[in-house]
Amino acid sequence: GSMTRLAAVAAAAPRGLPALLMDTAPAAVLGALDDPRVAEQPDALIANVGNFHCLAFHLVEGAIAGCFEHHTGELKPGQLEELLGRLASGELTNREVFESMGHGALVLRPTPESRPFLAVTGPRRALLRGSALAPYFAVPHGAMMLAGCFGLLRAFAANYPETAETIGAALATG
């Protein structure tokens, strides 16, 4: 089967209680949107540069235009910048990411004229320090290392609308 670790955790959850399981990288990308500067961008690349995996999404007007995931340790100097630039334009292919030891890429909507705002989070975000892409280091609620937690809360609220008001209020005052 697929996603065996998540399936095992789901099976261990108490019956009858609402639960949501999410990988840490997309949770951190979602959490980065809680940084006010990131939230106001109509065209953004958001990358979570984790210890083992790098995941990036290109969001245009709140919709996913494309994404890729790579092994952070396999990235050569300058390669992350190249991948992000090609994701921004929509030219990135699954084959080039996969053949460079990454997981893959998906472009849903090419955006050749796009010059997105680059927001970065994650413990290895310094890989982009000084980049010509001028990355902004997202700090949602003043705590970059909790971006995944904030993203998980936002995802929970989206999947359990009865909790959205309470979660939103807690995040707004937190």
Query: Per-residue confidence of the chain (174 residues) as pLDDT tens digits?
Result: 777 888 888 888 888 888 899 999 999 999 999 999 999 999 999 999 999 999 999 999 999 999 999 999 999 889 999 999 999 999 999 999 999 999 999 999 999 998 999 999 999 999 999 999 999 999 999 999 999 999 999 999 999 999 999 999 999 886
Calpha distance 106→92 (Å, rounded): 8
Q: HSE-up of 160 (CA within 13 Å, CB side)?
A: 14
- CA separation for the pair 171, 67 (Å, rounded): 27
Q: What is the DSSP string of 98-113?
A: HHTTS-EEEESS--TT
The CA-to-CA distance between both ends of the chain, in Å, stands at 39
DSSP state of 90: T
- How many other CB atoms are there within 10 angstroms of residue 112's CB atom? 8
Strand (E) or helix (H) holding 139: none
Q: Nearest-CA neighbor of 94 among 113, 59, 69?
A: 69
Q: What is the pLDDT of residue 50?
A: 96
CA 46, CA 143: separation in Å to the nearest integer?
16
Structure tokens at 105: 């890429």
